[in-house]
Amino acid sequence: MQAQEASTTATDNPVNTPVRQLSVFLHNRVGSFMALVKLLNENRIEVLGLSLQETTELTLARLILSDPESAETLFMERGIPHTDCRVIVVEIREGAHNLSLCLSALLAAEINIQFSYPLLARPGNWPLLVLHVDEIEVGADALHQSGFKILGQGDLSR
């Protein structure tokens, strides 16, 4: 039994486009991530969520941004290596119990989670979880059918 209201999925509403994640490859040097965040801030682009994975030579910064289109243009102009993918952003209400229900809905749909991380922004004051799954439409639909609210880029952009 869930206390969540049904919501349309991000793919049901053309105004509310799916959330884009930009992954940036940074040299593993002190201050490189700070320089990237400063560049984004100077261009009025907010970091709404992030995940960092460090290797010996490079750091992979996965970013959810307030304006991914402008950020991608900026990265191309500056020669900053990056990739782009769509992710699911799901609202998790009522704590750990709903996390379990969220994961159960994906398991029932036989959806694999490739990676996940929480967002810094919380438009509805509920925790938000970014999910990169092997089949985004099927995963978003499974979560929606289980009563979870799926957010789109329009819900996050300011």
Q: Can you list the domains of the chain with their CATH numbers?
A: 20-85 (3.30.2130.10), 87-156 (3.30.2130.10)
Q: How far apart are CA 83 and CA 62, in angstroms?
A: 9
**147-157: average pLDDT:** 89
Work out the angle at residue 86's Cα, subtended by the Cα atoms of residues 2 and 142, and round it to the nearest 5 degrees: 30
Q: How far apart are CA 67 and CA 156, in angstroms?
A: 9
Q: What is the pTM of this model?
A: 0.83
Tokens found for residue 53? 């994975």
pLDDT band at 18 (very low <50, low <70, confident <90, very high): confident
pLDDT band at 124 (very low <50, low <70, confident <90, very high): confident
What per-residue confidence (pLDDT) applies to 96?
Answer: 61
Residue 131, beta-bridge partner list: 88, 116
Q: For residues 2 and 134, which has the higher predicted lDDT (pLDDT)? A: 134
